[in-house]
């Protein structure tokens, strides 16, 4: 099976000025086409450092994909860096300059002299025509290895991946023989270590594999299979998913792209419940998650001041007396030393239920922890689990 590495290029990435979304897109495409991704690297706009990173990557991997650094300016050094890495010179391709000029005409712009730099590629490179931008991409083949250099602009990179690169990789590395399929189960209100205690033996499987990814108040369990087809991968994954449901049962709220707010909103609508949320110390986090899904029938009150849970219960009783709702969640997030305390109270079917939890992780993640914990409290109450 082919092994790949991704190198994202740009000093702006290292300075945190923009977020790298290219790696996520490429990684998923590689995964879905059966390519193992071993490493992601980010390098600034420095030809010697880029070249060194490429040389190192080629020692480990069959496919090295770079994004960024193909523009016309002095600080776009990827062409030179790739040439240096493979011991080649840059050569001017007049046909590329013609294509670049034609692109500018289409956009009703006039290219400047520095745009001519984009018509230079390493000697022996396979040019990938960029139909949605002005920066030509290219491939350098080195025996059974290759370097694929793509633009950093996400729209351009994605187009070239979908319309050329995947076809090239499938033909060169026979990728149709293997695909990688993943299925993700979302668990909630149970920590990563607690889940590991329950399914640790499954995490030692080799194909399919089982892995964990922790979020504030939520832990994802990912099952990944390598197979010759999607249907075969699904058959391999299914027994493990069944086993996970038996072991984790009520802690699983959904799969793949599902969110806890989507699941809870469906339950509320299915049971014809009038739902309300009263928050203190949360800046409307729970309210903002469910309001778009429940619309005008949803009632909420975001209390900027920190109230006691008893004061919140008083407001909940006022809602009940006024007949405004029959399912009410009260949530209070407060600081307690180095941790954050979350107090929840829920009214449903004539009863008040209370739950208190503490969060000791990064303070900025405490609101998301409160959202997951609060909405899961609603989910469990409705489902009686």
- Report the C-alpha gap between 112 and 39 in whole angstroms: 37
Query: What pLDDT sits at residue 66?
Result: 98
Position 292 confidence tier, pLDDT thresholds 50, 70, 90 = very high
> Which class for 102: exposed (0-12), middle (13-18), buried (19 or more C-beta within 10 A)?
exposed
At 170-228, the pLDDT tens digits run 999 988 767 888 999 999 988 899 999 999 999 999 999 999 999 999 999 999 998 98
- pLDDT tens-digit readout, 334-364: 877 677 899 999 999 999 999 999 988 888 8
Residue, of 228 and 80, whose pLDDT is higher: 80
| 336-340 CB contacts, 8 Å cutoff, 24+ apart | 340/366, 340/369, 340/370
**In the chain, ranges of CATH 3.40.980.10 domains:** 3-176
Bridge-based pairing of strands 209-215 and 351-359 is unpaired
pLDDT: is 279 or 303 the higher one? 279
Tell me the per-residue pLDDT of 228-272, one tens digit each, with 9 for 90 and over: 888 999 999 999 999 999 999 999 999 999 999 999 999 999 999
**Range(s) within the chain of domains with CATH label 3.90.950.20:** 260-383
The answer regarding whether domain 260-383 maps to CATH 3.90.950.20 reads yes
Question: pLDDT tens across 128-149, in order?
Answer: 988 888 788 999 999 999 999 9
State residue 133's pLDDT score: 81
Q: Which CATH number fits domain 179-255: 3.30.70.2860, 3.60.10.10, 3.50.50.60, 3.40.50.800?
A: 3.30.70.2860
pLDDT at 280: 92
Supply the pLDDT for residue 51.
Answer: 97
> For residue 35, which of 228, 160, 207, 169 has the smallest C-alpha distance?
169
Q: Mean pLDDT across the stretch 273-293?
A: 93
Q: Pick from 237, 66, 301: which is nearest to 160 by CA?
A: 66
pTM for this structure? 0.75
| Confidence check: pLDDT of 304 > 80 | no
- Residue 71 clears pLDDT 90, i.e. is over it: no
The segment(s) of the chain belonging to CATH 3.30.70.2860 are 179-255
Helix, strand, coil fractions of the chain, as percent rounded to 5: 45, 30, 25
CATH class for the region spanning 3-176: alpha beta
């Amino acid at each position: 099976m082919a092994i790949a590495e991704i190198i994202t290029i740009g000093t702006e990435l290292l300075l945190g000025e923009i977020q790298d979304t290219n790696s996520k897109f490429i990684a998923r495409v590689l995964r879905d086409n059966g390519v193992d991704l071993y490493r992601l690297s980010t390098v600034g706009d420095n030809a010697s450092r880029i070249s060194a990173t490429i040389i190192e990557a080629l020692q480990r991997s069959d496919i090295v994909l770079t994004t960024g650094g193909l523009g016309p300016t002095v600080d776009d050094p990827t062409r030179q860096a790739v040439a240096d890495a493979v011991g080649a010179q840059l050569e001017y391709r007049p046909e590329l300059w013609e294509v670049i000029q034609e692109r500018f005409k289409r956009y009703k712009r006039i290219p400047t002299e520095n745009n001519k730099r984009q018509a230079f590629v390493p000697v022996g490179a396979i040019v990938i025509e960029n139909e949605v931008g002005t920066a030509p991409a290219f491939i350098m083949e080195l025996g059974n290895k290759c370097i694929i250099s793509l633009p950093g602009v996400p729209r351009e990179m994605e187009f070239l991946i979908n319309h050329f690169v995947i076809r090239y990789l499938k033909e060169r590395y026979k990728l149709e023989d293997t695909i990688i399929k993943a299925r993700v189960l979302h668990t909630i209100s149970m920590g990563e270590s607690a889940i590991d205690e329950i399914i640790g033996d499954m995490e030692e499987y080799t194909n399919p594999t089982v892995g964990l990814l922790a979020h504030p108040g939520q832990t994802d369990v990912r099952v990944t299979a390598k197979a010759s087809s999607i249907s075969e991968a699904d058959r391999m994954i299914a027994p493990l998913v069944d086993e996970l449901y038996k072991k984790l049962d009520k802690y699983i709220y959904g799969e793949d792209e599902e969110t806890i707010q989507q699941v809870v909103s469906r339950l509320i609508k299915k049971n014809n419940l009038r739902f309300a949320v009263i928050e203190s110390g949360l800046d409307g986090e729970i309210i903002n998650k469910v309001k778009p899904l429940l619309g005008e029938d949803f009632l909420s009150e975001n209390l900027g001041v920190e109230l006691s849970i008893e004061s919140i219960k008083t407001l909940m009783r006022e809602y009940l007396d006024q007949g405004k709702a029959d399912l009410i969640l009260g949530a209070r997030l407060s600081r307690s030393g180095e941790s954050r305390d979350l107090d929840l109270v829920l009214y449903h079917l004539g009863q008040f239920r209370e739950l208190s939890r503490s969060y000791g992780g990064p303070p900025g993640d405490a609101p998301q922890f409160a959202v997951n914990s609060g909405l899961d409290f609603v989910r469990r109450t409705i489902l009686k689990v």
